[in-house]
Structure 1
Amino acid sequence: MALKDSHGSNEDEFFDPQVFNKFGARRLSRIFVVQGLYHQLISKSNLEAIEEYIIEQAFFQSCDEKYFFDGLRKISISRDALEVSFKDYLNVSLDRISPVEHSVILLASYELLHKLDIAPKIIINEAIEIDKLLGGNQGHRLVNGVLDRMATDIRRKE
């Protein structure tokens, strides 16, 4: 998965220390979960191979490893149910969104449904920021719209 540098160009397998040093352990975990989900969607690789690949990435040692492994494994197991939970909020069919946005929405929908100790605003903001880093130029708008509508419906009382 290529990352965009501050000039908008892609750097394959390159993690800019100036960018990644400012992230906390939880955000790094989310970035690596999205990267793992992306690889599942694109390559259909098994989870063990993806985990082995990701733990070799720069900055992995700085992430919250428990959050990473727990999130990637649980999302992988429940991917179909998570897709059902957010597909009605998409304004296009699921097969028409990019794998990056798909992965970001999978992670955030999992958090909205299962990480009730995290406020929806935080989940949505993290998803938007990660999509801006990893996704297409306007992908964060799709992510924001889907997650905002989903959060409104499933977390009404917050």
Structure 2
Amino acid sequence: MNDAAPQQRPPRQSRTGLTATGVRKAGAKSGRSRAREFALQGLYQHLVGGNDATAIDLFTRDLSGFHKADAAHYDALLHGCITTAQYMDELITPQLDRKMAEISPIEHAVMWIGVYEFQHCQDVPWRVIINECIELAKEFGGTDGHKYVNGILNGLAPQLRAVEVEADKAAGKAG
């Protein structure tokens, strides 16, 4: 019989939203991820209902959970996407295999978010942008909409983030 007391580990420090290994817990979303969700909802209102950015903004800020979103990122996405919509559609359209009018408004808005972030959020790696957009399309879009969004954004990344994509290819990270 061994009389030695079992070793006890020191209690782990709580890191909100992270597992013990530092990975984000399922369901724990960053402020930017939440901002993308709220922006997506607003862009949907714009695409489907023709609502203007100011009305959408006022409505969205009153929604439950908005306080957990990165408000500055939400503002940039909502207003930036609506302001540059025509330009972004001109970038997206050559990548499409159908007319823009046949694209779901959710996938359309997700692609806007991806293109906007490629162009204006240089602090967010291109792969993160694509992954975040895939997750948005999975959560809010149609069954295989995320695959379509992935294909379009992967087609645009070399054009909009050329240096970064080339660096990843050279390092064997892009495929």
| 1:69 and 2:75 aligned | yes
Kept in 2, the 8 Å contact 1:54–1:60? The answer is: yes
With normalisation by structure 2, the TM-score equals 0.76
Corresponding position of 1:117: 123
Structure number with bigger Rg: 2
| 1:135 and 2:141 aligned | yes
- The amino acid that maps onto 2:136 is I
Q: State the shift of 1:48 in Å.
A: 1.4
Q: State the shift of 1:145 in Å.
A: 0.2
Which structure is richer in relative contact order (CA contacts within 8 A, separation 6 or more)?
1
Question: In the aligned structure 2, how far is the partner of 1:100 from the partner of 1:20?
Answer: 23
Question: In the aligned structure 2, how far is the partner of 1:41 from the partner of 1:20?
Answer: 30
Corresponding position of 1:80: 86
Question: In the aligned structure 2, how far is the partner of 1:33 from the partner of 1:20?
Answer: 21
Corresponding position of 2:18: none
Question: In the aligned structure 2, how far is the partner of 1:98 from the partner of 1:92?
Answer: 11
Question: In the aligned structure 2, how far is the partner of 1:104 from the partner of 1:20?
Answer: 21
**1:152 aligned to which of 142, 152, 158:** 158
**Alpha-carbon RMSD:** 1.5
Question: In the aligned structure 1, how far is the partner of 2:96 from the partner of 2:119?
Answer: 17
Q: State the shift of 1:116 in Å.
A: 1.8
**1:102 aligned to which of 90, 108, 114:** 108
Q: How many residues align?
A: 140
| 1:89 and 2:95 aligned | yes
Question: In the aligned structure 1, how far is the partner of 2:132 from the partner of 2:56?
Answer: 22
Amino-acid identity (%): 30
Q: State the shift of 1:154 in Å.
A: 2.4
- CA displacement, residues 113-144 of structure 1 (integer Å, 9 cap, x when unaligned): 22122111000000000110110010001100
With normalisation by structure 1, the TM-score equals 0.84
Question: In the aligned structure 2, how far is the partner of 1:125 from the partner of 1:77?
Answer: 24
Structure 1: runs of 5 or more not aligned = 1-18
- The amino acid that maps onto 1:71 is L
Structure 1 consecutive aligned stretches of length 4 or more whose deviation exceeds 3 Å? none
